[in-house]
């Protein structure tokens, strides 16, 4: 060891590496902050974390995505963003340690991440062109500059050859310079990042204001009131109409699109569209509105799962709009059999034109349970088609409708292995008692919901252990497009019991026992709950 290296002002090997790693983290942090600021000016979706997150959602294999939806539910996106931040932090640590020896390589590494972020932003389906690259690039330049500078403080000026070592070693380090630069970079990043975030939320202000100004006209064709006996008085059963705040949410949007309704437009065009149409939000509100109760279901819903909800939707009949544009159903000689809806966030959803035009209440919805659509559920306008899983029918934040064919275009989920067509499978769920509940002997109310949208539910049966199927009491039917509550007063005897439910739809087919995974066209099988009666 040389005298120089034992200089008390020189951090020895390990602490120097640690300081390098710290510099790496700080530089990573210092690149995200300006990136957030620039993204606030460009648009929130161009932020590197959101762009890389979006790209990884799109690249994630269907099975893994399905697993994430199952295990993290609506938190899947939060988990993904945290995951990205952890990976970035680890890489920044490594680059910082590298920069102690090789400043240029370390700084170049940060620049490389900027390029990756920019590439992700540019290749997003909703990219608006080169400005989307700016946040990542600005961030990378700031971060790389900081790392280069900080690493320089650790290996300051006088680099001498160690007398007995093979490599260059630092003589002294600029502790003061390092501490000052590091603390001011941390403080500046916090401020800049905070300003970026608050700019983003104030920009969403226009959209929020436009939503607050919406006055939904009363529907020309109101929903038939829910029959009084459609709602059972049983504790623990899903309420017939699901409040907006409790409605499930499934989408790929890392940042909920905040669309300004006053600037929104929808274009209808494509094969067999003799009169293409561009509509503004007010144009939709001026048309005759229908109001319907429709139960939505996600194809990722497991047997017994939570991704199903029923709401009162207000909107414009899609079949009427299409007819005005000259569109004919394939069975009437129309050349387009697939309608592809595109959202502002680049989602594509393909629906059979035949289903939309067969008389069911497919709509462009503007209202949910009497309110303008919540942002999470597609404000200002989304599509809905009773009887089809959401991924083939329910495009949120819709902005474009193209008539095409199944042969010539595969939308987002179909490219990822899901079926082109996906009518909702007949399903039933036990809401109460909950799995592993410990009810007392005597009468235990078993209750839940069953759905077979657009076919309707005809019968629900319950089986206790391996006993016979017994018919449950069915609540009154609201519509064929909504779920139906059911209940069964069970004379519970002591011990562990398995309760199983199955439904029969109005075409007479009994819910299949055959277990199927959610991919490619929806889960099947019977829902069972095990309870211990005390
Ligand atoms: N723009 C957009 N629309 C979308 C999706 C999406 O990821 N992006 N997901 C679809 C899926 S898979 C379902 S099940 C429904 C869910 O609608 P909800 O979140 O309002 O319940 O929205 C559909 N519409
Ligand atoms: Mo879905």
Q: How confident is the model over 372-408, as pLDDT tens digits?
A: 999 999 999 999 999 999 999 999 999 999 999 999 9
Right CATH for 427-533 from 2.10.10.90, 3.10.105.10, 2.60.40.650, 3.40.50.620 = 2.60.40.650
313 lines ligand 1 (CB under 6 A): no
178 lines ligand 1 (CB under 6 A): no
* Fold: same for 228-415 and 427-533: no
126 lines ligand 1 (CB under 6 A): no
- Strand, helix or coil at 521? coil
Cβ 452 vs Cβ 481: under 8 Å: no
Band the pLDDT of 159: cuts 50, 70, 90.
very low
Distance (angstroms) between ligand 1 centre and the Cα of 206 equals 23
pLDDT in tens, 407-419: 999 999 999 999 9
Q: How far is CA 447 from the centre of its chain?
A: 30
Cβ 533 vs Cβ 439: under 8 Å: yes
DSSP for residue 467? S
N-term to C-term CA, the chain: 76
Distance (angstroms) between ligand 1 centre and the Cα of 519 equals 16
**Does CATH number 3.90.420.10 belong to domain 228-415?**
yes
For residue 183, pLDDT beyond 60: yes
What tokens appear for 129 in the block? 């062109």
- Average pLDDT, integer, range 81-87: 85
Cβ 231 vs Cβ 242: under 8 Å: no
Cβ 94 vs Cβ 23: under 8 Å: no
Distance (angstroms) between ligand 1 centre and the Cα of 379 equals 12
- Average pLDDT, integer, range 24-39: 92
| List of residues 6+ apart from 321 with CB closer than 8 A | 268, 277, 364
- Strand, helix or coil at 413? helix
Q: What is the pTM of this model?
A: 0.86
- Average pLDDT, integer, range 169-181: 76
Distance (angstroms) between ligand 2 centre and the Cα of 297 equals 7
pLDDT in tens, 449-484: 999 999 999 999 999 999 999 999 999 999 999 999
Distance (angstroms) between ligand 2 centre and the Cα of 197 equals 30
Residue closest via CA to ligand 1's atom 10 equals 391
210 lines ligand 1 (CB under 6 A): no
416 lines ligand 1 (CB under 6 A): no
Q: Apex CA 460: angle with CA 459 and CA 461, to 5°? A: 125
For residue 165, pLDDT beyond 70: no
What per-residue confidence (pLDDT) applies to 127?
85
- Average pLDDT, integer, range 300-327: 97
Q: Name the closest ligand to CA 125.
A: 1
Domain definitions of the chain by residue range:
13-207, 228-415, 427-533
* CB-side neighbour CA atoms (13 Å) of 221: 13
Residue closest via CA to ligand 1's atom 12 equals 391
Distance (angstroms) between ligand 2 centre and the Cα of 325 equals 29
Integer Cα distance of 454 and 350 in angstroms: 19
What per-residue confidence (pLDDT) applies to 259?
95
Integer Cα distance of 332 and 335 in angstroms: 9
Cβ 160 vs Cβ 4: under 8 Å: yes
């Amino acid at each position: 060891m040389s005298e120089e290296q034992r200089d008390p002002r020189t951090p020895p090997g390990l602490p120097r590496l640690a300081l390098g790693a710290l510099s790496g983290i700080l530089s990573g942090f210092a690149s995200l902050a300006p990136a957030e600021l620039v993204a606030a000016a460009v648009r929130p979706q161009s932020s590197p974390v959101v762009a890389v997150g979006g790209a990884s959602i799109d690249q994630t294999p269907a099975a893994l995505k399905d697993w994430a939806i199952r295990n993290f539910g609506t938190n899947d996106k939060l988990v993904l963003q945290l995951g990205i931040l952890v990976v970035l932090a680890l890489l920044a640590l490594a680059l910082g340690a590298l920069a102690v020896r090789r400043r240029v390589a370390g700084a170049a590494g940060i620049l490389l991440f900027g390029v990756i972020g920019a590439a992700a932003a540019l290749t997003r389906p909703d990219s608006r062109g080169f400005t989307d690259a700016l946040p990542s690039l600005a961030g990378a330049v700031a971060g790389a500059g900081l790392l280069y500078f900080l690493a320089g403080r650790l290996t300051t000026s006088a680099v001498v050859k160690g007398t007995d070592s093979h490599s260059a070693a630092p003589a002294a380090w600029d502790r003061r310079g390092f501490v000052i630069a590091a603390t001011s970079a941390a403080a500046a990043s916090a401020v800049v990042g905070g300003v970026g975030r608050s700019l983003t939320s104030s920009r969403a202000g226009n959209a929020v204001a436009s939503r607050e100004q919406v006055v939904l006209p009363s529907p020309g064709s109101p929903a038939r009131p829910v029959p009084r006996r459609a709602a059972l008085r049983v504790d623990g059963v899903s309420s017939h109409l699901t409040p907006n705040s409790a409605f499930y949410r499934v989408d790929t949007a890392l940042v909920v699109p905040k669309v300004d309704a006053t600037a929104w437009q929808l274009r209808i065009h494509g094969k067999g569209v003799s009169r293409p149409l561009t509509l503004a939000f007010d144009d939709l509100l001026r048309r005759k509105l229908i109001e319907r109760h429709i139960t939505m279901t996600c194809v990722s819903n497991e047997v017994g799962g939570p991704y199903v909800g029923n709401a009162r939707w207000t909107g414009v009949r899609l079949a009427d709009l299409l007819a005005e544009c000259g569109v004919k159903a394939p069975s009437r000689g129309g050349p387009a059999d697939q309608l592809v809806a595109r959202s502002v966030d680049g989602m594509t959803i393909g629906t059979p034109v035949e289903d939309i035009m067969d008389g069911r209440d497919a709509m462009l919805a503007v209202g949910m349970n009497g309110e303008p659509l919540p942002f999470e559920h597609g404000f200002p306008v989304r599509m809905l088609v009773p009887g089809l899983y959401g991924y083939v029918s329910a495009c949120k934040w819709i902005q474009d409708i193209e008539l095409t064919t199944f042969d010539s275009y595969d939308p987002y989920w179909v490219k990822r292995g899901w079926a082109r067509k996906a009518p909702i499978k007949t399903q039933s769920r036990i809401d109460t008692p909950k799995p592993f509940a410990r009810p007392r002997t005597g009468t235990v109310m078993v209750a839940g919901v069953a759905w077979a949208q657009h076919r309707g539910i005809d019968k629900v049966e319950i089986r206790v252990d391996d006993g016979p199927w017994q018919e449950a009491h069915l609540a009154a039917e609201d519509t064929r497009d909504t779920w139906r509550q059911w209940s069964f007063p069970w004379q519970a005897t002591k011990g562990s019991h398995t309760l199983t439910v199955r439904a029969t739809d109005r075409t007479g087919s009994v819910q299949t026992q055959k277990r199927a995974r959610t991919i490619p066209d929806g889960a099947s099988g019977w829902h069972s709950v095990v309870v211990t009666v005390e």
